Structure 1
Amino acid sequence: MKNRIKKRGDIFLYYPELILVVILSIILSFFGVSYAQDHSGHSSLKTSARQEKPEKETTWTCSMHPQIQMPKPGKCPICGMDLIPVAGKEKETKEMPGSLRELTLSPYARKLAEIQTSPVMRKFVSVNVGMVGKIEYDETRVGYITAWVPGRIDKLFVDFTGVTVEKGKPMVYLYSPELLAAQSELLEAIRASRTLKNSKITTIKTTARKSITAAKEKLKLLGLTDEQIREIIRKGKPSDHVTILAPMSGVVIHKNALEGMYVKTGTRIYTISDLTSVWAKLDAYESDLAWIREGQEVEFRVEAYPGEFFKGTITFIDPFINPKTRTVKVRVDVPNNDLKLKPEMFVHAVAKAPVSAAARVIEKPDKKTLPPLVIPASAPLITGKRAIVYVAVPGKEGTYEGREIVLGPRAGDYYLVLSGLKEGEKVVTNGNFKIDSSLQIQAKPSMMSPEGGSGGGGHQMKHGGMSMKSKDEKKKIKMKMDVPPAFVSQAKQLIRKYDELSKTIKNGNIHQIRSKFKEFETQLNSVNKNLLTGHLHMVWMELAMLMRNDAVLGNIATDRDEAMEAFEALTKHINRMKKQYKISLEKGHDNAG
């Protein structure tokens, strides 16, 4: 036994490294337990800290329809696709968008997009009607010098055209045997009257005086003036030549005869025009005739005087349309006292037509006339007769709502608004295309995609249609898409108005059709939008906006083609409404059941 103990002691004696290893193991074991306990304490603190942080919300949305936002996983109520989670956010109260076309931008995004807005206002504006044409002679101020008697031209006092002449100045020296005989008749009548001056027979005296008067009238008819006739009487002998005087002041624009030329009665020798007043003959397009009136002021310019504008007044509108150019001649009277305007000058003219709220020309705005509703010309994104504007949503900074409106004519820097906006609303005038592009990327209705975008996998987004895969999915979606019976009842009344309009379109005249469109609009406005909530409410606001625009366009249609175009668009939107809300006039086929 002692030997064994001795041997063990020898082991520790001969192997001191072993003793060191044992001691270090004991120390590390002690600190390891202490570290584990401390680490466990820190872990529990971290876990507690995580639990104390506000919980974050996971929102579930559809990849095709980002406007759908749900607190739990499920199916998209529009296309039936599985909802996907969005990055968690701290729980906050978030209002549901009021429109399918609504978009919210951060302050940085607004600055980057350079968003600017302007208010919708009522103010008198003028429609600018552009026309082109040229300067012409005023036909009421053109005079002709003609031969009143046959004869020979012995002298022309004006040798070339373009010469300015004054009224009463000599123009032609004409030899005429016929005029010589007429002068002789006058002188003979005067001599006979003097001879019979002392006669006691009254009848003879009266006859002699009448002969003198008749001879004078004959000379007047042959072109002589009273002064020339008095000169013949003073001289007491006839002349075989007569001087033809200028009948008016003006410019000689045509010289039609030569010296030595024999002329007949009525032969034109000179043409004179008074250029202190000229005409501007303009071509107006057929579509612009609604904005042109007699008495309207026109402003125009010519190439000869850059930067200078001339004014005139419309005095005549041609009753005929040129079948080749589809234009109408418009005559403008222009004062030209300084003679700057020359015939055949090309002109570019603009007629300014003040318009009322009914988009009709008014002669002069007054306090009784309601000004039209207008927006800046940069606000709308034009899509044919309709346009898209983006309106700042009141109370939601940085939020903009897309809206389809009906525009009237453009009036300078403004557009008239016929439907879709109210006075005081603010429309985006700069950055609107960027907002539209963002909506298009998000598959929401936009200018380029009026019904929204489409995603992959063969699912196509249609407001009012759903793509389902199973009966269970249909049941779940139906629960979410149930429509209040009161709304269904009002929608049916709207469909009946549409059916009345459909019959009138086939058989009625344009006045009856417009009246039915107006009745449809009235019925549409009576539908209570507050009966719907959530996504159904947003879809109705979209459809109601589109159908209201259809009704407005139908109400202002000028012919059956325009009315039919509005009706076809309305039919499309009515069908979308029926499909979206599962409404049918047949019993047992709608949500009202």
Structure 2
Amino acid sequence: MLLLLLPFSFSACQDKAEKGEEAHALEYTCPMHPQIVQDKPGSCPICGMDLVAKQPANAPGVAVATDLDYLLQPANQAVVSSVQTTHPVQRPLEQEITMAGVVTYDTRRQYIIPARFAGRIEKLYVQFNYQKVSKGQRLYDIYSPELVTAQKELLYLLKNDPSNTSLIAGARQKLRLLGATDGQIRQLTRTGKESYTFSVFSPYAGYVLDPSVTAVAPGATATPASAGGSGDGMGGMGNANSGASPASAGAQTAAPQQGFAIREGMYVTTGQALLKVIDASQVWAQFNVPSAVAGQLKKGTPIAISFPQEPDKKLQAKVHLVEPVYAANENFAQVRALLPAKDNSLFIGQILTGKATFSTGSALWVPKEAVLDLGTQAVAFLKLNGVFKPVAVQVGQRTEDLVEITSGLKETDVVAANAQFLVDSESFIRVADTNR
């Protein structure tokens, strides 16, 4: 019997030894105070909680099913929710842009009248800014020794060498270059007497200004947020040659002077800018639009123009120029369309509204609520394996209800219809790199 019981007793002793060693190897610690470590069960001397066994470093991990992997991810990388979903749609889209604008001058129709020769202003026939002038109207009389000498040269050649046609033609051309008209030259040759007071006529029709006055319509350089301007223009239309009234443009200077810098009796030098004439027979409709949609407006794009003050008044125009502008720490674009002021009661500074329609071509679109703008990037919540993951997307054009996705999503993807619903004001979204 002793021989039979000896193997069992040896095995039992060995099991007890292994269990003792295993129990001895375990360490116990407090969940609230990890600095408390003991080699046997007990209570924490600080808080009184029962000590728990520490997991050995080489202990095997607990197996987790693959369908629960998302529960082990950081909380800011996935969202479990049952919100409504949508998917991107690939299609062309007819888009309409509504633009606020203002009527302003065509800067290409502003002309400077300089002094072609030095002299003294004897008589000034225009007295104040925005006085209407017509082409060929007398502006001022001037005395110039240089012009008197040029007249005497022509008269001398006509009297003493009438057969020398080349010299006579050169003397006539010199007078023309000094500003003499053909009528004045014919009168000189007919009377045979030089004139010491020479009249200068306007070569343009429009409104006369001092060169220091800048004619800019109210709101012409405003940012898109204030593109409407004040819009209570003071002037009206003149005749067919005058076009829109420039009376409101004087309001753009801090203290517009009513007269001119030049005066009767003043001496002027060659090349000095004496007067400026603005031809308002054609004006600009100038709109300020955001840079995001400015790229869709090309030269020739039709614009339907309406006037808030006159709902029944409609005009049709086309985009003439799209100019990028940076002002007031904002990027936008100025869109200009030509408006014939003839037969149209337009006011400089009058506010107007333009609508342009264009096709975007085939693009990937999602509802604008499906994209969350974080400032530095845009995020959409992509549904994968029953949870929503934030993914970075690149956006393009925007409409009132839709946003174009240029990269980051495919047409087969499913995204949250309302991205803002998945985020509260204190959340921080970590966009994970998703290789799909």
Alignment of 1:94-133 (within 5 A): 125-130=94-99, 132-133=100-101
User: 2:293 aligned with 1:337, yes or no?
Assistant: no
Give the AA of the match of 1:358.
A
The RMSD of aligned alpha carbons is: 4.3
Q: 1:302 to 1:569 in 2, by over 3 A?
A: farther
User: 2:241 aligned with 1:246, yes or no?
Assistant: no
SS of match in other structure, 1:233: helix
User: 2:181 aligned with 1:190, yes or no?
Assistant: no
CA distance, structure 2, for counterparts of residue 238 and residue 270 of structure 1 = 26
Correspondent of 2:357 among 323, 347, 352: 352
CA distance, structure 1, for counterparts of residue 92 and residue 137 of structure 2 = 57
Asked if the contact 1:302–1:348 (Cα under 8 Å) also holds between the matched residues in 2, the reply is yes
CA distance, structure 1, for counterparts of residue 329 and residue 83 of structure 2 = 45
CA distance, structure 1, for counterparts of residue 84 and residue 415 of structure 2 = 16
User: 2:184 aligned with 1:228, yes or no?
Assistant: yes
Structure-1 residue corresponding to 2:168:
212
Asked if the contact 1:127–1:355 (Cα under 8 Å) also holds between the matched residues in 2, the reply is no
Give, in angstroms, the shift of residue 165 of structure 1.
1.8
Alignment of 1:375-414 (within 5 A): 383-384=371-372, 409=397, 411=399
SS of match in other structure, 1:318: strand
Give, in angstroms, the shift of residue 381 of structure 1.
5.3
SS of match in other structure, 1:140: helix
Q: 1:318 to 1:123 in 2, by over 3 A?
A: closer
Alignment of 1:331-480 (within 5 A): 331-338=336-343, 340-358=345-363, 383-384=371-372, 409=397, 411=399, 415=402
Structure-1 residue corresponding to 2:283:
278
**With CA pairs under 8 Å and 6+ residues apart, which has the higher RCO, 1 or 2?**
2
CA distance, structure 2, for counterparts of residue 258 and residue 338 of structure 1 = 36
User: 2:156 aligned with 1:156, yes or no?
Assistant: no
Q: 1:306 to 1:264 in 2, by over 3 A?
A: farther
In structure 1, the gaps of 5 or more residues are 1-76, 79-99, 104-119, 198-207, 360-372, 389-405, 420-513, 526-543, 551-565, 575-593
SS of match in other structure, 1:158: coil
Give, in angstroms, the shift of residue 380 of structure 1.
7.6
Compute the TM-score of the two structures, normalised by the length of structure 2. Answer: 0.53
User: 2:143 aligned with 1:175, yes or no?
Assistant: yes
Asked if the contact 2:154–2:172 (Cα under 8 Å) also holds between the matched residues in 1, the reply is yes
Structure-2 residue corresponding to 1:96:
none
Give, in angstroms, the shift of residue 186 of structure 1.
0.4
Deviations 1:522-543 (A, max 9, x none): 9xx6xxxxxxxxxxxxxxxxxx
Give, in angstroms, the shift of residue 212 of structure 1.
0.5
User: 2:266 aligned with 1:261, yes or no?
Assistant: yes
CA distance, structure 2, for counterparts of residue 153 and residue 297 of structure 1 = 49
Give, in angstroms, the shift of residue 386 of structure 1.
8.3
Asked if the contact 1:125–1:411 (Cα under 8 Å) also holds between the matched residues in 2, the reply is no
CA distance, structure 1, for counterparts of residue 290 and residue 111 of structure 2 = 33
Instruction: Select the structure of larger CA radius of gyration.
Output: 1
Structure-2 residue corresponding to 1:3:
none
User: 2:104 aligned with 1:136, yes or no?
Assistant: yes
Give, in angstroms, the shift of residue 310 of structure 1.
4.3
Deviations 1:254-288 (A, max 9, x none): 34422222211122222111112112343332222
CA distance, structure 2, for counterparts of residue 292 and residue 219 of structure 1 = 49
Q: 1:219 to 1:380 in 2, by over 3 A?
A: closer
Structure with greater strand percent: 2
CA distance, structure 2, for counterparts of residue 183 and residue 314 of structure 1 = 50
Pairs aligned (count): 281
Deviations 1:317-340 (A, max 9, x none): 335544722223333322211463
Alignment of 1:504-583 (within 5 A): 545-546=414-415, 568=431, 571=434
CA distance, structure 2, for counterparts of residue 126 and residue 232 of structure 1 = 66
Identity %: 27
